[in-house]
Amino acid sequence: MNNLNNVCSSQSRGFGADGEDPRTRGILPSTSCRNFRQRLRSDRKMNVFQGLAIATGGVALLGVLMLIGMDVAAGDTNPGAIDRMKGMWQSAVNFLGLPELLSRAVEQRGRGGRSVDDAATQHYCNQPLDTQRLFQLIGQQVLNQEQAMARMERTISRQRQFQSLVLLGPPGVGKTLTVSALSHYFPWPGNIHSFSGAPCLPGGERDCAALRQVLAELSDCGTNLLVIDGLEPCDHHLVASYNKFLRDGLQRQSLLVLYVIDLEVDLYGRQFELMQRELPADTTIVSFRLFGREELRDCLEHELQQESRVLGQDEQARILGEALAKSCCAGCKHLRKIVLKQGRSANAAEDATAINQ
């Protein structure tokens, strides 16, 4: 009976059946704590192994992409190759989980908390707009408009809170292609807004519902881009009203506005002088020059190269003549369709040449 009392007294103090205090020799072998520790060690080993596997795979993938990127930088300036390279980099980014990292950072910030992901979010939002690299990419698509590209680059590189540019020129000389390429390579794709034609009727621009919606959707992260394309020369008075409405509605956001106005070839000089007089002083005018035969030839050769097509000399001369006749309303715009319709596959042409030889 005394022995039984001693055992019960020991167990009541948290001791085992043998009366020994576990604290003097660690966790008893028969307790669940030991099993838990074993599972914990196993889980840690598995996590370390998985982490090393992911890191090794990521480094290998990035190494391959860097080698391919060096090849592209060395000799391949084809925009299609650049687009493919961007796709591969995006796949690598997704593989490494960076979009989820940014998403968690934004969610954490929305709850008012702070985490290590804040640094990634801040880097994304506060990254500088690399206008030199941006317009190198745009210049590979927009031909024979070096002065216009240089003026745009100088203006946008200032990165003020509100900037306004008007792109002037006849149809088919690269204005819409420029804003399309700029949108494609813009570092903050979620911040882009666009309109085809005036977003408000004349007289309603002082309280424009469409522009109010744009202001409500502006982001504090990065720079916002607003493109208003397809304006007519008679719409030039809208620029000052839109600028005032947008500037007054800004808070902390940064906004870049691009207006695209088509000028008539026959009235190009007169309309350009009118734009210079009437457009507001806070708006930069970017003039896209008229295209002649040589510029159209460059466009045609570029399209043939892009689409891997060939045309005979007589066919090229005929197409250039037709394009010049339509310069009032087409310029380079219709050359791609002509190339796709009438051009022969470059591989087929090479095979036919080899057979004839």
Compute the CA torsion angle 279, 196, 203, 167 (nearest 10 deg): 0
User: Measuring CA to CA, which residue among 267, 337, 253, 348 is closest to residue 310?
Assistant: 348
Model pLDDT for residues 248-266, shown as the tens digit of each residue: 999 999 999 999 999 988 8
pLDDT averaged over the chain? 76
Spell out the SS3 assignment of 206-224.
HHCHHHHHHHHHCCCCCEE
pLDDT at residue 78 greater than cutoff 60? no
Q: What DSSP designation does 144 have? A: S
pLDDT at residue 62 greater than cutoff 70? no
Q: Under CATH, which architecture does the 131-287 domain have?
A: 3-Layer(aba) Sandwich (3.40)
Which are the contacts of 72, defined by CB distance < 8 A and separation ≥ 6?
Answer: 81, 82, 85
Burial pattern 310-338, b for ≥16 Cβ within 10 A else e, equals bbeeeebeebbeebeeebeebbbbebbeb
- The mean pLDDT value for 271-281 works out to 93
Model pLDDT for residues 217-246, shown as the tens digit of each residue: 999 999 999 999 999 999 999 999 999 999
pLDDT at residue 349 greater than cutoff 70? no
pLDDT at residue 16 greater than cutoff 50? no
Per-residue confidence (pLDDT) for residue 24, from 0 to 100 = 45
Tell me the whole-structure pTM to 2 decimals: 0.62
Query: pLDDT-based confidence at 118, cuts 50/70/90?
Result: confident
Model pLDDT for residues 298-324, shown as the tens digit of each residue: 888 877 887 888 888 888 888 777 777
Q: Which residue has the tokens 């057979």?
A: 355
Residue ranges of the chain assigned to CATH 3.40.50.300: 131-287
AA identity, residue 86? K
Per-residue confidence (pLDDT) for residue 11, from 0 to 100 = 44
Q: Which residue has the tokens 């024979």?
A: 144
Per-residue confidence (pLDDT) for residue 5, from 0 to 100 = 46
